[in-house]
A and B are shown apart, each in its own frame.
Chain A
């Protein structure tokens, strides 16, 4: 069964509004989660590392005030795209490492369309 659950899978929002995407680890605790995004015909790019109980670490070029990450519990990290614009339309996906072999598990991903 699924190890990581992401919600929603598809979301359409109006320009200027905010949208929240959730990433949940199922049946295990995750102190660290990762958020990626993929623009059309481009690679999946790491946006930020979400740390439970502390501030997220953002990759260079990612606006931390625009992409708010909250990792309030050991099973949930949220990504909020604030004041969304059409150029934020993208595929967002989270991942979690687990186990002795540090196997990485990914969520289902979320397609965001800003109109």
Chain B
């Protein structure tokens, strides 16, 4: 079945450090890939997405590139801020928004001043 594997947290970084959260997937067909973020006390928010191979999703300084050859969708940010502290979920969906979403376990990021 479809699955998403992402690095376990928590990840603790100092402000302005470089961030990478690894994510790999297995899927039948051609999935769309997503990163969701959950800030403390809030719901899941879509951070970025990519719908086909070699697409790069980007938002708020975060980037992730859909790598079909390595079945990966790693999240990166060049300089993290304290406000980026949250839980990040990698996810896939085979048919876009209305179909079910398969999530990774989530990675908690804590950025310290």
Contact = CB atoms under 8 A, between A and B. Distances in A.
Interface size class of B (residues with CB under 8 A): 20 to 34
Contacts, number: 59
Interface stretch (B13-21, B58-66, B96-104): B96-104
A46 B100 contact: yes
Given A101-B97, A103-B97, A42 B41 contact: no
Contacts of A67: none
Contact of A34 (B89, B96, B100): B100
Interface of A: 2, 4, 6, 9, 32, 34, 36, 38, 41-46, 49, 59, 93, 95, 97-99, 101-109
Interface of B: 4, 36, 38, 41-46, 89, 93, 96-98, 100-106
8 contacts: A43-B105, A43-B106, A59-B100, A93-B43, A93-B44, A103-B97, A104-B97, A108-B41
